Amino acid sequence: MQAQFKTAFEAGAQGDDIILAITESQLTSYLSEKFDSEETPLFTEPGAFLRDGKMTIYGKARQGYLVATIKIVISAGIDATGQPDMRIEIGRFLGPSPCQRRSLAVFRRLSKRAYTGCGWACGNRVPHLSKLVFGTEFMVMVGKVK
């Protein structure tokens, strides 16, 4: 996925459209890498689904002896400035979960960082999205560096 991002941003720096297609398996791998690299991960065993204009993320949250299955549904769109507009619609924690508030807060930051910190930035310029399209098991983002 990093090579795909790099190629897209190089094209964007030359004035071409930035086009990124992200699959469920790529998003799941990205989340796994991010959480596996943390000393105390937000959750483990992530699974990502891209359907009907939404991202649905599943995983296991742990705190001490407590384990809870989580489900977070994020609607994705584009705001008036061309930036991603990701809103958590549903945050379900199946079972006791004392880390519910932390989980939602961290996931909000992670979803924003996925856009700006995962390579979207071209120098100090961030691409402006013009399209965000969901298919079954993938999403496509199109934008330009302005």
71's torsion region: left (phi>0), alpha (psi -120 to 50) or beta?
A: beta
Provide mean pLDDT across the span 95-118. Answer: 56
- 73: Cβ–Cβ under 8 A, 6 or more apart, which residues? 54, 55, 56, 57, 88, 89, 90, 91
Position 126 scores a pLDDT of: 66
Residue located via tokens 């995983």: 59
- Residue 109 pLDDT exceeds 70: no
Position 120 scores a pLDDT of: 47
Q: Where are the domains of the chain?
A: 2-144
Q: Tell me the pTM.
A: 0.77
Provide mean pLDDT across the span 22-50. Answer: 87
